[in-house]
Amino acid sequence: MEPAPLASLQEEGEGEPGESPSSAAAAVPPRPATHHSLHKYAPLDWSAYFDEERRVAIPDTEDVFNVYMAGSEGPVVFCLHGGGYSGLSFALAASRMKEKARVVSMDLRGHGKSTTSDDSDLSIETLSSDVIAVLRTLYGDSPPAIILVGHSMGGSVAIHVAAKKVIRNLHGLVVIDVVEGTAMASLIHMQKILANRAQHFPSIEKAIEWSVKGGPLRNIDSARVSIPSTLKYDESREWYEGLSEKFLSCPVQKVLLLAGTDRLDRALTIGQMQGKFQMVVVRHTGHAIQEDVPEEFASHILNFIARNKIGPNGVEFHRIVQMHHHL
């Protein structure tokens, strides 16, 4: 679920990761970074994908949350990134959804450009309260139709927020590749990976290159937007304890996007058989589905909105963006 430990980064045309230094050197002599390589991993600005960056100050607190916004009509697709990512994790997908929906992607506490009185407090209760506070500050007591979308840790936050039943006009919940059983089982492994993760890179380009060669991402363009804003973080068991039952109890339409069927635990397997939520397995992708295949992810979200007629008149369109990866 998280980045693999840092391996030495090869330039374009050098040996594959995992080769011994002698075999890699025998195949291609070491050489300095080329202009092509630096350009390929150069950062991309958020403004190519979102329409607005807004600072949301929570009344009577020191907390100011950074959100990215795109689109002006339709229901609000409120996106919550995973631990160590940022709101820009949804940049490429937002650009594909904003003609049919309003996309709001938030930098959670301790991530991206958000600043709070205690950035180290990543408890599930605090993170959930932050999301509720941002929604209320943005929309008051009469919000538009809202769909909560959360990836990994953000998926856990989205489930906890929905389960509180305090968000008015909440119509849908989309959880991306997080299941209680597999998440809990991987925490020890994830802590070891985080302890061995690179602390410094010689350039932003190298950090972006690592994220797609030895890290969690596969889509270079998405990495070029999202990686520069990411921060270190620590995992917590409470993010995932009791998550499956809480997800099943949320009284809204639900869809679970998974990168593999092996991620289902017993409670979700039974719930899926009982028709309590829709499950979609997205092939040919890693853990960060919204970054690796943003076009396919966007079409799943728009299909979810259309099928459940979310918004003033639902989302009506004759042709959803064609998906490149078949289920």
How wide is the angle at C-alpha 273 spanned by C-alphas 267 and 278, nearest 5°?
Answer: 90
Between the alpha carbon of residue 220 and those of residues 89, 210, 226, 291, the distances in Å are 12, 10, 10, 9
| Paired residues of 170 in beta bridges | 146
Query: For the chain, percent helix, then strand, then coil, each to nearest 5?
Result: 40, 15, 45
How far apart, in whole angstroms, are the C-alpha atoms of residue 168 and residue 171?
Answer: 9
112: left (phi over 0), alpha (psi -120 to 50) or beta: left
How far apart, in whole angstroms, are the C-alpha atoms of residue 192 and residue 184?
Answer: 14
Q: Which residues are catalytic?
A: 152, 177, 287
The token duo for 97 is 């959804």
Burial 303-323 (b: 16+ CB within 10 A, else e): bbbbebebbeeebeeeebeeb
Contact 175, 301 (CB under 8 A): no
Residues 6+ apart with CB under 8 A from 233: 83, 84, 110, 111, 122, 194
Q: What is the separation of C-alpha 259 from the centre of its chain, rounded to a whole number of angstroms? A: 13
